[in-house]
Structure 1
Amino acid sequence: MEPEHALTAPARSGAGIKLLLTSLLGIAIFFVPFELAGRSTILVDHLAGFLMAQRPLALGLILLLIAYGAISPLLDGRWRARPIDRVLSLFKLLGLGLAIMYVAGWGPAWLMTPDRLPFLFDKLAMSVGLIVPIGAMALTFLLGFGLLELIGVLMQPVMRPLWRTPGHSAIDAVASFVGSYSVGLLITNRVFLAGKYTVREAVIIATGFSTVSAAFMIIVAKTLNLMGHWNFYFWSTLVITFVITAILARIPPISTMAHQGETDEPLPAGMSRWQAALASGLTQSSQADPVLRQLQDNLKDGLYMAAAVVPTILSVGLLGLLLAQHTPLFDLLGWLLWPLTWLLDLGEPLETARALSAGLAEMFLPAILLKDADLLVRYVTAVVSVSSVLFFSASIPCILATKIPVNLGQLVVIWLLRTLLGILLAALCGRLALTMGWLN
């Protein structure tokens, strides 16, 4: 990093103003809830909600994204690159067919039940397809003008010892947890391609912090009748998720992934951490591309990722739902979780284990299946649905659409480990909360 005094006084002042204003704008867009039309949420979500309310326009945009995502791999030959690309290309074409069927109303009755294609299209595909491009443009103010570098230097002493990631991953982690996993993965992919994450660091971030958004957490809490305990649920889930991530960063398969040395830079001689952080931020701010160019580049990246992911959300998500509802696959997975649910006395242990295992297909399934369980089981279900991070209807295709070299088998193993640890920690936390009166 360059020292602050490498900039002239006027350049330093200009860079400082730019850093301050863009940082405040980025923080306001992503992290500060605003109430508009009786709805309190962050601005990115407000913008996506506004577009969703213009349903004909939103449907047209989503269909264009899905069509591009499904057809472009066939035109440019990307479908031949790897076996997983061939499989995903087939699923993307299937997703295009499902989207056309849904919009045209041609689907059979079994496909059009509210918990199948309508749920996948309206609740997942529409949200991801609109939030990712909007969020990508808004990321310009968090990533492009020095805030990432400034916080990176400040957080280096915390992120590296706890989660084995660079200091600048702090913004990535917070944006991933509080905002959308798809936006978080967009950050992770961009930073990885810029050479600021090793493979191991990128996988830790992608599989450890890229949870569903806080808005989805509200839906889970409502379904499981936990809104009366919202603050306890939200903050305990955040802590449990981050604890699990710290543990998994130290065991296989993540601990064995490629890691070409530490990517954090040492502090310049004679500088305090704050001075070094400010110098790094000012240097980036002074060298940043014009805002319009960054907005254009980030929008392009966001549209590309949305087009790659939305078709597979429909097809892979539908397959997962059908497997959960009509085959014993998730019953078999449930047996892997059963010893722990039995040991922790979580309701009907096998039923709880089966329902939690269905979260691999779609994170919302366990909440649907266990909405009438006792309070402890409902709390554990709500936490594990978020802290397990990975599921086939959205986050797994999102990760596979990035350039991070992690395969499907590794993601399933990581899901299993996160789910087991989530059950254990959530059950212990829930019992403590019941004893202390925090969850009554």
Structure 2
Amino acid sequence: MKTEEKKPQASEAGKEQTGIKAAGSYVNRKNMIKFLVGSAFGVLMFLVPIPYESSFTTLLDFVKMWIQALLGGSLIYIVTLLLVVSAAVSLADFIFKPDLIRKNRYLSKAFCTTPLYLISKIIGAVVGVMVLFGVGPEFVISADTGGTIIDLCGTLFCILIAFSFVLPFLTDCGIMEFLGVITRPVVRPLFHVPGRASVDLIASWFGAANAAVILTREQYMKGFYTKREAGYIMTNFSLVSVPFCLMVAETIGLDSSFPIFYLCVCVVGVILAVIIARIPPIRTIPNTYREATGRRVAEDRPEEKGVLSFALESSCKRASEFHVDTVLVSGLEVMMGTLFDLIPIVASWGVIALAIATYTPFFDWISYPMGLYLQLFGVEDAFVVAPATLVGFTDMFIPALLLAGSDVAVKTTFIIGALSLVQIIYLTEVGTVVIKSEVPLGFWKLLLIFLERTLIAIPILVLLANLIY
């Protein structure tokens, strides 16, 4: 009887030893090479700042600019064709529901859609054709509306071509697991997100905000962020890039004081991120993983393991799953879904938003309370710049254009210029990507977050401006 009782104990001990050995077996030469070489390539493309003119950019941005230069004037034709194909095939799928599309993982992601998004795709196709041929009402085809949006779609197209097949090297080779374990003690208590979110921040800091949002969306889809974490990262970590901040500073005449201007943007951005994580609507989003994938992130370090050893083990475990077909499958899925699903939405919603901002007094009407709010903190020309505090919800560059055409105090220009860069929720770029993702953040929640960021940032920026000027 005693012998029979001991056998299961020995068996359980053996299982524990086998489990430990299996965990450690991930750290081998093959996985180390995948982790180091693959991650180095991803980091080099996405995260390493490269001096460019008077600022910094990334190699991925260089590739994007090279593709833009290569395509040149043909880019508008490519974008218009993409918009028309997306609308036509989506309409055919909606009416006939062919198995060829419905049962294909790539085609279904690109063309299966809801009535609202189908109408949006059709509007996007009409806008593309109108802008290409210069036919239609001025509020659609002007350089301030349709022209701007089709150019933005062209830029997004080039980003995606450069981005899609490089992204797996950053997300699937282990560097996010490594940084996640290392930075977790700081990032988790401060921002309530996994340490790997620091990669998203760096990606947008030196690259493009929309690229960082797509990166976050893909990580959520694969089970590395919860709904709340993904929504929070998208709306707080997707800062505009350094080159764009410099362009805004030059537009509003603050390029000579750009270092202090950008430092204030970063400081206020961090403060906002800490606050927004702790208030609705972000706090009320379910902190659960995508049902189809479940949880895949593992940054909780066992007590018996050191930080570096566990970070290396986690990285090698992730790298063991990386293969050549990972790049092709993952890259093609991101590219198809974004090119034929996201860009048409950007084209339609972007033109509508810019037309309202440019050709109607809508933002003048609704910005009166913001004028009172600015006046409360002693901001000069409060009612003159009030529309610029809200119009950024449509596009990030419109506030700078409004400031460039007005004669307001330098201190006020500083406040509103910096505000436009920390608001983050721009419908023409970040907002549309977030709404089109599976993260439960619709239009009204995004608007609320935008207003929260605006109202909280203004007194902080006023304080900083008073200290500087």
Q: Contact between 2:213 and 2:234, CA under 8 Å: does it hold in 1?
A: yes
Give the direction of change, closer, same or farther, for the CA distance of 1:72–1:381 in structure 2 (3 Å limit).
farther
Partner of residue 92 from structure 2, selected from 66, 75, 83: 75
Q: Does 1:104 align with 2:104?
A: no
* Partner residue in 2 for 1:191: 219
Distance apart, 1:59 and its partner CA: 2.9
Higher mean C-alpha deviation, range 342-351 or range 197-206 = 342-351
Q: Does 1:30 align with 2:46?
A: yes
Higher mean C-alpha deviation, range 141-150 or range 60-69 = 60-69
Give the direction of change, closer, same or farther, for the CA distance of 1:63–1:3 in structure 2 (3 Å limit).
farther
Give the direction of change, closer, same or farther, for the CA distance of 1:22–1:125 in structure 2 (3 Å limit).
same
Per-residue CA deviations over 1:197-235 (Å, capped at 9, x if unaligned) read 111111101111123333322321221112222222223
Partner of residue 415 from structure 2, selected from 380, 401, 415: 380
| 1:3-82 map, 5 Å | 6-8=23-25, 12-34=28-50, 41-53=57-69, 54-77=71-94
Higher mean C-alpha deviation, range 251-260 or range 231-240 = 231-240
Aligned residue type for 2:245: M
Q: Contact between 2:127 and 2:141, CA under 8 Å: does it hold in 1?
A: no
Q: Does 1:225 align with 2:253?
A: yes
CA distance in 1, matches of 2:82, 2:55: 28
Percent of residue pairs bearing the same amino acid type: 26
Distance apart, 1:252 and its partner CA: 0.9
Q: Contact between 1:220 and 1:367, CA under 8 Å: does it hold in 2?
A: yes
* Partner residue in 1 for 2:122: 93
Partner of residue 273 from structure 1, selected from 281, 286, 307: 307
Q: Contact between 1:133 and 1:302, CA under 8 Å: does it hold in 2?
A: yes
* Partner residue in 2 for 1:437: none
Q: Contact between 2:42 and 2:167, CA under 8 Å: does it hold in 1?
A: yes
* Partner residue in 2 for 1:335: 368
Q: Contact between 1:125 and 1:313, CA under 8 Å: does it hold in 2?
A: yes
Q: Does 1:206 align with 2:241?
A: no
Q: Does 1:283 align with 2:314?
A: no
* Partner residue in 1 for 2:146: 117
Q: Contact between 1:51 and 1:58, CA under 8 Å: does it hold in 2?
A: no
Distance apart, 1:147 and its partner CA: 0.4
Q: Contact between 1:3 and 1:280, CA under 8 Å: does it hold in 2?
A: no
Give the direction of change, closer, same or farther, for the CA distance of 1:73–1:429 in structure 2 (3 Å limit).
farther
Per-residue CA deviations over 1:144-171 (Å, capped at 9, x if unaligned) read 1100111111111111111111111111
Q: Contact between 1:136 and 1:299, CA under 8 Å: does it hold in 2?
A: yes
Q: Which has the larger radius of gyration?
A: 2
Per-residue CA deviations over 1:161-190 (Å, capped at 9, x if unaligned) read 111111111112221343222211221111
Q: Contact between 1:133 and 1:303, CA under 8 Å: does it hold in 2?
A: no
Q: Contact between 1:217 and 1:386, CA under 8 Å: does it hold in 2?
A: yes
* Partner residue in 1 for 2:403: 370
* Partner residue in 2 for 1:361: 394
* Partner residue in 1 for 2:359: 326
Aligned residue type for 1:361: T
Aligned residue type for 1:321: L
TM-score under structure 2 normalisation?
0.83
CA distance in 2, matches of 1:157, 1:324: 43
* Partner residue in 2 for 1:393: 428
TM-score under structure 1 normalisation?
0.88
Structure 2 runs not aligned, ≥5 long: 1-18, 98-112, 290-294
Higher mean C-alpha deviation, range 14-23 or range 93-102 = 14-23
Higher mean C-alpha deviation, range 48-57 or range 397-406 = 48-57
Q: Contact between 1:4 and 1:283, CA under 8 Å: does it hold in 2?
A: no
Q: Contact between 1:309 and 1:394, CA under 8 Å: does it hold in 2?
A: no
How many residues are paired up? 427
Q: Does 1:421 align with 2:456?
A: yes
Distance apart, 1:135 and its partner CA: 1.6
CA distance in 2, matches of 1:259, 1:433: 40
* Partner residue in 2 for 1:128: 156
Give the direction of change, closer, same or farther, for the CA distance of 1:322–1:179 in structure 2 (3 Å limit).
same
Q: Contact between 1:132 and 1:182, CA under 8 Å: does it hold in 2?
A: no
Per-residue CA deviations over 1:88-107 (Å, capped at 9, x if unaligned) read 33222111111112122324
Q: Contact between 1:70 and 1:308, CA under 8 Å: does it hold in 2?
A: no
* Partner residue in 1 for 2:103: none
Aligned residue type for 2:270: F
Aligned residue type for 1:74: L
CA distance in 2, matches of 1:39, 1:60: 31
Q: Does 1:298 align with 2:326?
A: no
Structure 1 runs not aligned, ≥5 long: 435-440
Q: Contact between 2:217 and 2:437, CA under 8 Å: does it hold in 1?
A: yes
| 1:397-408 map, 5 Å | 397-408=432-443
Higher mean C-alpha deviation, range 328-337 or range 413-422 = 328-337
Q: Contact between 1:176 and 1:184, CA under 8 Å: does it hold in 2?
A: yes
Give me the CA root mean square deviation. 2.8
